[in-house]
Amino acid sequence: MVTARKWQAEGLPHLPPTMLSSPVGQVCDLPRSILPPEAGRNLDRQGAAALSFGPNSAVVIDVGLIPVNPRRRQRGFVLIAMSVTTLLLLAMIGLCFDFGRIYIARNEAQVFTDSAAMTAAAKLDGTPAGVIRAREAVAHSPMRWNLGTEPFTGVVVEFANETVSGETVWERDPKDASALSLARVTAPANGVDIVFLRGIGGPKSFTVPARSVAAVNPVRLIE
Amino acid sequence: MKTIRTKHAGQRGQAMIELAFSAGVMIACLAGTFQFGYTFYVYDELVSAVGNGARYAATRTYRAASPADVEKGKDAIRNLVVYGNSQPAPGAAPVAPNLKPENVQVSWVMSDKAEGAGAPTAVDVSIVKYSVGAMFGSFTIDHRPLAEFPFVGRYAASESEP
């Protein structure tokens, strides 16, 4: 079974000497590089062709059964596809796992600051001792973050007096405690360790701060 | 005519084996992703629910005419955590699958007093013995998430729960 196409040997550069000395009709392996550009695309380095030699020239015949399996040309594609898919899968897992923990931490921190701001506001009684009690009550909160495992650290408790003009000056250690009407709690240091997204260039840690403001008389959350 | 056999003909079964292994790993990854994702979602819902319940408990009237009234007040708080409503309609859906009022622990923090013997100073609300059933297993959540809010509501020593 021979295809119709033939190529004159004159057009074939660097024909191996062993091939030239082959008997007419011998089936030989032909490197792709020595075949003319118009040679069948299905011939490849591992392919073979029939050669017939004349007195001064040779004819290369593309043999129908020889074509290399077209899938062979796709070697390496699976590796690339698997690499890309694995990266995407890792990214998906990362999005799910890391973002899930980040959202939980943010929610935990927000509930904590709500509670702490109300606690601090409830302790304010117009005296410096009230300010100290407010700070201590926040410090002794039993609430935890990171799936309920770690205590909140670096919590900042500030106090202010709500002025008529709306200008609020927050102080950690107010000198005049008599007119304090606002308590603000900030939980700034909730750094969630990133597990998966770090592997594809994400940060090592993601901080999810939270802040709440509570007012007195009656004690209520206002922010 | 000589027919040359392609060198890949014997590798057809290998691709299937590779697919079987890689599909196993992929399915395990996807199942794990679902498992963690679902558990995180439920936990996040619980954090919000517990926070809302504790805020509600902190601002509601603490009626302490009898221990039964205190318990009735706790039931209202549990209902708010589980159903988002202190008086849920029959057949109301919980905020998390299979979450029941008995999975919610409500503790009044009293200053040197027993419950019902004075105004509480704070209230603790947490989830106890709740199992999150995902695809291939379950996680048990116990005593977390926990929210503690100061009691800022009205203290009614001689009132009964309606």
pLDDT value, residue A130: 93
Buried b (16+ CB within 10 A) or exposed e, B121-136: bbbbbbbeebebebee
Flag whether pLDDT at A117 surpasses 80: yes
**Chain B residues in contact with A115 (beta carbon < 8 A):** 51, 54, 147-150
Nearest-neighbour CA in chain B from A13: distance (Å)? 25
Return the percentage of chain A with pLDDT > 90, whole number: 40
Q: Is there a contact between B152 and A65 if contact means CB atoms under 8 Å apart?
A: no
Flag whether pLDDT at B99 surpasses 80: yes
- Of B1, B7, B147, nearest to A111 by CB-CB distance is B147
Closest CA to A58 of A46, A67, A49, A68: A49
Q: How far apart are CA A116 and CA A221, in angstroms?
A: 10
Q: Which residue of A has its CA nearest to B39?
A: A100
Please, what's the largest Cα pairwise distance for chain A? 117
Closest CA to A182 of A199, A194, A170: A170
Asked if B33 and A93 count as a contact pair (C-beta separation under 8 A), the reply is: yes
pLDDT value, residue A149: 92
Asked if A138 and A155 count as a contact pair (C-beta separation under 8 A), the reply is: yes
At B14, list the tokens. Answer: 């290998």
Q: Report strand pairing: B146-150 vs B155-156.
A: unpaired
By CB neighbour count within 10 A (0-12 exposed, 13-18 middle, 19+ buried), where does A88 fall? Answer: exposed
Q: Residue B1: pLDDT band by 50, 70, 90 thresholds?
A: very low
Residue B101: partners with Cβ closer than 8 Å, 6 or more residues away: B75, B78, B79, B81, B82
Q: How far apart are CA B161 and CA B70, in angstroms?
A: 8
The CA dihedral of A218, A119, B155, B82, to the nearest 10 degrees, is 110
Alpha-carbon distances of B25 from A76, A163, B20, B28, B29, rounded to whole Å: 20, 62, 9, 5, 6
Q: Which residue of A has its CA nearest to B5?
A: A66
Nearest-neighbour CA in chain A from B141: distance (Å)? 10
Q: Is there a contact between A144 and B54 if contact means CB atoms under 8 Å apart?
A: no
Flag whether pLDDT at B29 surpasses 60: yes
Q: Is there a contact between B6 and A143 if contact means CB atoms under 8 Å apart?
A: no
pTM value is: 0.76
Q: Is there a contact between A104 and B7 if contact means CB atoms under 8 Å apart?
A: no
Domain range for B50: 14-156
Q: Residue A189: pLDDT band by 50, 70, 90 thresholds?
A: confident
Q: pLDDT tens-digit profile of B101-152?
A: 999 999 999 877 666 678 899 999 999 999 998 777 788 999 989 999 999 9
B109 part of a folded domain: yes
Domain count, chain B: 1
Q: Where are the domains of chain A?
A: 2-70, 77-221
Mean pLDDT of A101-115: 95
Flag whether pLDDT at B86 surpasses 90: yes
B9 part of a folded domain: no
Q: Indicate the SS3 state at residue B113.
A: coil
Q: Residue A23: pLDDT band by 50, 70, 90 thresholds?
A: low
Assess B29–A contact: CB distance below 8 Å, yes or no: yes
Q: Indicate the SS3 state at residue A105.
A: helix
pLDDT value, residue A48: 46
Q: Report strand pairing: A48-53 vs A58-63.
A: antiparallel
Higher pLDDT, A83 or A66: A83
Q: Which residue of A has its CA nearest to B52?
A: A111
**Chain A residues in contact with B40 (beta carbon < 8 A):** 96-97, 100-101, 103-104
Q: Count other Cβ atoms within 10 Å, centred on residue B53.
A: 27
End-to-end CA distance of chain B: give it in Å, rounded. 100
What value of ipTM does the predicted structure carry? 0.87
Higher pLDDT, A45 or B24: B24
Q: Is there a contact between A65 and B4 if contact means CB atoms under 8 Å apart?
A: yes
Least confident of A185-194, A203-212, B6-15: B6-15
pLDDT value, residue A29: 62
Q: How far apart are CA A111 and CA B52, in angstroms?
A: 9
Return the percentage of chain A with pLDDT > 70, whole number: 65
Residue B21: partners with Cβ closer than 8 Å, 6 or more residues away: none
Assess B72–A contact: CB distance below 8 Å, yes or no: no
Q: Which residue of A has its CA nearest to B145?
A: A148
